[in-house]
């Protein structure tokens, strides 16, 4: 008589083994996904295409269709008429091994910057508004205006920028599509030599678009000028600090329910010099 229990036990064992395997794979998949999601979340320096909403809204609005990258003038399928070669790719769609949310468009200026195309073809094709054309429209002309782009802000590291050492370099300045507006060269006397001048790059954060042409052009091994998303590069003083001399800034708090006449500062400016504060608590015999 054959033992009918054995197959039953082994079937059951196989059943539970399968469950354990599936659970293990599920856990492993979950861990991998969690790891990936953490990695993607910890990539706050991602630069998005022109007109992109704030990162959180962008991620919930972008459907990862890739139409922006397909419309980018600077895409490999667009053969350069001068060189006869495919153009390098500005907008890339993130792959699984990249620390950017998978399938979303981004660019890396040190590799390929955004060329600030006058007609901004990448933005109007977005079907969801993740690239907001209103933010790129000049109210005066009601046309798209590349000056309205706010992809990021250039930041200069004075320790590694050789212009701060006194060496003549204006590579970033010359590369900027908004030369002398977004980036200027500030003249400073070189006290070390006493007879030379510094010409230091200085960014106007209200004009810089974050295109990254300067980062791409920088001559140092790791660029001394680089682009950060605006949320990362800029601080925020809070609504309680108001520029009394700036009517626009007063309107900002007027929107918070404060009347313009109420925001005039009444604080008396101290007449003391900085040295007057030194040891003011100390009494001498
Ligand atoms: S502005 Fe031009 S180069 Fe920049 S992302 Fe759009 S299409 Fe590409
Ligand atoms: S076109 Fe818009 S929705 Fe599509 S990938 Fe680009 S940003 Fe996302
Ligand atoms: S990112 Fe650089 S090149 Fe582009 S506008 Fe700003 S300063 Fe000019």
pLDDT digits 0-9 by tens, 87-118:
999 999 999 989 899 999 999 999 999 999 99
| Cut 0.95: pTM above it | no
* Residue segments in the chain with a per-residue pLDDT below the cut of 70: 1-43, 255-267, 277, 279-285
Assess whether the C-beta atom of 133 lies below 6 angstroms from ligand 2: no
Residue range(s) defining the domain that contains residue 185: 152-232
Assess whether the C-beta atom of 211 lies below 6 angstroms from ligand 3: yes
Q: Which ligand is nearest to the CA of 61?
A: 2
Residues 141, 43 share a domain: yes
> What CA–CA distance (Å, rounded) separates 111 from 109?
5
Q: Which ligand is nearest to the CA of 156?
A: 3
- Flag whether 28 is in a domain: no
Instruction: Evaluate whether 90 touches 107 at the Cβ level (below 8 Å).
Output: yes
> What CA–CA distance (Å, rounded) separates 62 from 271?
55
Last residue of a domain, one of 149, 177, 211: 149
Residues 129, 198 share a domain: no
> What CA–CA distance (Å, rounded) separates 250 from 238?
13
- Flag whether 63 is in a domain: yes
- Per the structure, the count of domains in the chain is 2
Q: Which ligand is nearest to the CA of 58?
A: 2
Residues 120, 86 share a domain: yes
Concatenated DSSP letters for 54-117? PHHHHHHH-----HHHHH-SSSTTSB-TTTSSBPP-SSEEPPTTSSS-TT-EEB-TTTS-----
Last residue of a domain, one of 102, 129, 149: 149
Closest residue by CA, ligand 1 atom 4:
114
CA 60–ligand 2 middle distance (angstroms): 11
Residues 175, 141 share a domain: no
- Flag whether 180 is in a domain: yes
Assess whether the C-beta atom of 203 lies below 6 angstroms from ligand 3: yes
- Flag whether 112 is in a domain: yes
Assess whether the C-beta atom of 213 lies below 6 angstroms from ligand 1: no
Residues 49, 115 share a domain: yes
Assess whether the C-beta atom of 68 lies below 6 angstroms from ligand 1: no
User: No. of H helices and E strands in the chain?
Assistant: 7, 8
* CATH number of the domain within which 171 lies: 3.30.70.20
Assess whether the C-beta atom of 153 lies below 6 angstroms from ligand 3: no
Ligand 1 test: best mutation among 80, 91, 177, 178, most atoms within 8 Å of CB? Answer: 91
Give the pLDDT confidence score for residue 57 in this predicted structure: 96
Last residue of a domain, one of 232, 256, 274: 232
């Amino acid at each position: 008589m054959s033992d009918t229990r054995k197959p039953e036990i082994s079937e059951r064992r196989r059943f539970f083994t399968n469950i354990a395997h599936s659970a293990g794979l599920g856990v492993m998949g979950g861990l991998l996904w969690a790891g990936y999601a953490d990695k993607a979340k910890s990539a706050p320096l991602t630069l998005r295409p022109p007109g992109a909403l704030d990162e959180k809204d962008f991620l919930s609005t972008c459907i990862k269709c890739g139409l922006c990258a397909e419309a980018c003038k600077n895409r490999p399928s667009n053969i350069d008429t001068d060189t006869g070669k495919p153009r390098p790719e500005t907008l890339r769609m993130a792959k699984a091994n990249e620390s950017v949310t998978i399938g979303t468009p981004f660019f890396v200026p040190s590799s390929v910057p955004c060329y600030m195309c006058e007609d901004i073809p990448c933005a109007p094709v977005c079907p969801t508004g993740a690239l907001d054309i209103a933010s790129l429209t000049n109210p005066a002309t009601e046309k798209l205006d590349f000056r309205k782009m706010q992809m990021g802000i250039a930041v200069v590291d004075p320790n590694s920028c050789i212009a701060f050492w006194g060496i003549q370099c204006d590579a970033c300045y010359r590369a900027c599509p908004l030369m002398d507006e977004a980036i200027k060269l500030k003249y400073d006397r070189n006290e070390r030599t006493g007879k030379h001048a510094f010409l230091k790059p200085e960014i106007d954060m209200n004009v810089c678009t974050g295109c990254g042409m300067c980062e791409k052009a920088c001559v140092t091994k790791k660029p001394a000028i680089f682009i950060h998303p605006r949320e990362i590069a800029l601080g925020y003083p809070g609504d309680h600090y108001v520029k009394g001399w700036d009517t626009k800034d007063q309107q900002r708090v007027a929107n918070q329910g404060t009347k313009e006449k109420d925001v005039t500062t009444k604080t008396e400016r101290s007449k003391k010099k900085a040295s007057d504060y030194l040891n003011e608590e100390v009494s001498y015999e």
